[in-house]
Amino acid sequence: MSARGPLVVAGDVLLDEDIVGVADRLAPDGPAPVVDVRSDLRRPGGAGLAAALAARSGRDVVLVTALGDDAASEAVRRALRGRVRLVEVPLSGTLPVKTRVMAGGRPLVRIDRGGGTPGEPDDAVRDALAGAHTVLVADYGCGTVAAVREHLAASARRVPLVWDPHPKGDTPVPGARIVTPNAAEVSFLTSERAAGAGRSLRDFAERGRELAERWRAAAVAVTLGERGVLLTRPGDGTPMLVPAPYRAEGDPCGAGDCFSAATAAELADGALPEEAVQRAVARAAAFVAAGGAGNPGLWRTEGRVRPVRAAENDPFALAERVRAHGGTVVATGGCFDLLHAGHVGLLESARRIGDCLIVCVNSDESITRRKGPGRPLNPVHDRTRVLAGLGCVDAVAVFEEDTPVALLNRLRPDVWVKGGDYAVEELPEADVVRAWGGQAVVLPYLDGRSTTLLARRAAASQAAARTPSH
């Protein structure tokens, strides 16, 4: 466990099952499709999925949930072993099992089975929540949250708490940092007071504000699918809309769990609510594009893929850690003397390629040799600190040579990225990266943005300011 305490996920675990096949004919005894089964995937859902996603960042995650002696509970234990630490509430009955029959990438039918009643939490539950650094509540209306509500209320007074609600679940405890209902849940939860209300952004802003006041929450983030997330607060302030970074074509199953887990993880790393929501939206979009909860690769890797608060990590240890758990290491490099929009766009795009982004930065001496006297404009300490503050940057490494070849031989990234003012065949690093099976790529670059142009523009402005007017 980290010195500052784990991220604790509390809520209802389900066992999700996808039966995937092909349907190209109807049954002879009725108008029902016949599915030829090709694969069968079972995985933890609900709070189990949220905890597993949070643990992919390499952080210490504790899952407080109700499990019993049934086969579904044992399947969940096996799937989560080595990923999270389980603190169990006794379950009388069986764990809920939700089965989707899929064909052509779409669900044909969902079958729900099982269900039980959580018992009394013991001292281990109390101690887990008392020692949390951040808490995520994943309420699926199955009773676990109600069983531990007293401990959750105490946590909300002490640490950041994110609450993912359910219409059949408990009301969020007062003091939640962010509550994350989706559009349907918001409509259901406000139906008595907002009868006939529409689905415009204004309608959702009013409902989100109403819920924030009713729940005494610091903020309510209404998830609107492809439209993004609307962050509202109590009172009459202007809400913030965070659009998805791109249209994610894929299975949306589990996207809400991904969003709430990413939000809690970002708050645990010290992000402001606005920053946490922005990063969580991007993470959820990537999750959907990769196949959602049904992506088999999500469960093949055991543990960490995206490291905790990347920018503070040792870049070499980070690369080894990500590689060891099946992740993709992405690296890029440059002077980054004056960070501008072109840099930020490049770095954000590069981060979406893999599971961590390491930025290789020229030392001051290296820049002077390349750019001449007067450069760099900012010393290496300032440049690395600015880069490390970006949410898309996971670590920064400085190299003294004219090119990062020696550094790359140590990092051995899977992907080496440069901006669009280069061609891959011109990069001296391209052959180096290929030596261990890596790939060099060029990403589009914003035209008209460069440190040199900015420096010339600043110099011209200074000169104009010194010229006396006649």
Catalytic residue status for 236 = no
Secondary structure class of 361 (helix, strand, coil): strand
Q: Which two tokens stand for residue 226?
A: 């492809």
Q: Cα 214 vs. chain centroid, distance in angstroms? A: 28
Q: Let me know: does 448 contact 456? Beta carbons within 8 Å.
A: no
Annotated catalytic residue, options 257, 355, 364, 414 = 257
How are the residues of the chain apportioned to helix, strand and coil, as percentages rounded to the nearest 5? Answer: 35, 25, 35
Q: Which tokens is 69 given?
A: 């002696």
Question: By the 8 A CB rule, do 234 and 220 touch?
Answer: no
Cβ atoms of 95 and 119 within 8 Å: the answer is no
Q: Which burial class, exposed, middle or buried, applies to 325 when counting CB atoms under 10 A from its CB (0-12, 13-18, 19+)?
A: middle
- Structure-block tokens of residue 161: 């708490």
Dig out the tokens for 448 from the structure. Answer: 């008209």
DSSP assignment, residue 290? Answer: T
Say how far apart CA 112 and CA 227 lie, in whole Å. Answer: 29
The span from the CA of 311 to the CA of 395, in Å, is: 4
Instruction: With CA atoms as reference, report the closest residue to 9 among 101, 96, 165, 128.
Output: 128
Q: Which element (helix H / strand E) includes 179?
A: strand 178-179
Residues linked to residue 163 through DSSP beta bridges, in sequence order:
137, 179
Which residues are annotated as catalytic?
257
